[in-house]
């Protein structure tokens, strides 16, 4: 790529990650030259939003950089079937770059959760990058600087550890929110009353470690309250409650 201001990017995938990244790129002046997707309906819809062509065969994409925003299995399949002279990166968090056979491939991993119809600002999407060549590394760096992404270089082993941590703080925590919503709804109680608590739980991590911020009956080994809570739960919920409670108790030496 000789002219950074004329960078051409194409996407494989039309799900939440592909959509959000492509919209950010387009807004920041990146030339989106095509969308390819196994889902022709969503792929065509995304291409229409971006005013670029839908390309059924990913081998026909023309770009300086092709971004694969699909699941891990699809990334590995594409590595064996995609024939292109373009640089290629994937957004999957758990695919080891050592398993990829092409030196023109790399990683462009957004450390964020994406949800349909919720749009993020550039500073809310940190990027972890990995590349097999200096040329690709320079291209990715130029792309991030043009768009304004916060970025860092990260090898596959550490990226997988970031991905695991992200599952803890996002996926697992969101599931606990879901369990709390069910419990409150079944008892006709108000979920909105917990929102200030949720906000403060996150906000205080700016000043304290999670270890120091921990409160609650498990932290203080309040067996009476723990038993009262368990009496309100069904068998499956009790098992989950016990796993979390035991983990907290062991953390604070309440065996």
For the chain of 255 residues, list the mean pLDDT of each consecutive stretch of 10: 70 96 94 96 96 96 96 88 94 89 91 91 95 93 96 94 95 97 96 97 97 96 96 96 97 84
Q: What is the pTM of this model?
A: 0.88
pLDDT for position 161: 94
Question: CATH homologous superfamily of domain 160-251?
Answer: ProC-like, C-terminal domain (1.10.1040.20)
pLDDT for position 102: 82
Per DSSP bridges, beta strands 65-68 and 31-36 are unpaired
Is there a contact between 75 and 104 (Cβ–Cβ < 8 Å)? no
Q: What are the boundaries of each domain within the chain?
A: 4-154, 160-251
Which CATH code, of 3.40.50.620, 3.90.45.10, 3.20.20.150, 3.40.50.720, is assigned to 4-154? 3.40.50.720
pLDDT for position 1: 43
3-state DSSP call for residue 26? helix
pLDDT for position 80: 87
Same fold: 4-154 with 160-251:
no
pLDDT for position 103: 83
CB atoms within 10 A of CB 197: 8
């Amino acid at each position: 790529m000789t002219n950074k201001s004329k960078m051409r990017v194409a996407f494989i995938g039309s799900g939440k990650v592909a959509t959000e990244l492509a919209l950010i790129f387009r807004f920041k002046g990146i030339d989106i030259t095509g969308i390819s997707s196994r889902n022709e309906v969503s792929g065509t819809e995304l291409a229409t939003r971006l005013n670029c062509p839908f390309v059924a065969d990913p081998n026909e994409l023309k770009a300086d950089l092709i971004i694969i925003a699909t699941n891990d299995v699809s990334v590995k399949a594409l590595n064996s079937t995609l024939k292109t002279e373009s640089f290629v990166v994937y957004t999957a968090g758990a695919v080891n770059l050592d398993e990829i056979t092409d030196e023109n491939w790399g990683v462009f991993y957004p450390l964020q959760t994406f949800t349909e119809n919720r749009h993020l600002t550039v500073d809310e999407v940190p990027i972890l990058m990995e590349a097999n060549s200096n040329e690709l590394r320079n291209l990715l760096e130029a792309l991030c600087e043009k768009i304004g992404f916060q970025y860092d270089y990260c090898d596959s082993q550490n990226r997988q550890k970031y991905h695991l941590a992200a599952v803890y703080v996002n996926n697992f925590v969101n599931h606990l929110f879901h369990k709390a919503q069910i419990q409150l709804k079944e008892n006709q109680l108000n979920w909105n009353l917990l929102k200030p608590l949720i906000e403060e739980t996150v906000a205080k991590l700016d000043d304290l470690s999670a270890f120091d911020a921990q409160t609650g009956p498990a932290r203080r080994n309040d067996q009476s309250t723990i038993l009262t809570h368990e009496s309100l739960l069904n068998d499956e919920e009790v098992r989950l409650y016990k796993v979390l409670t035991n983990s907290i108790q062991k953390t604070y030496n309440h065996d």
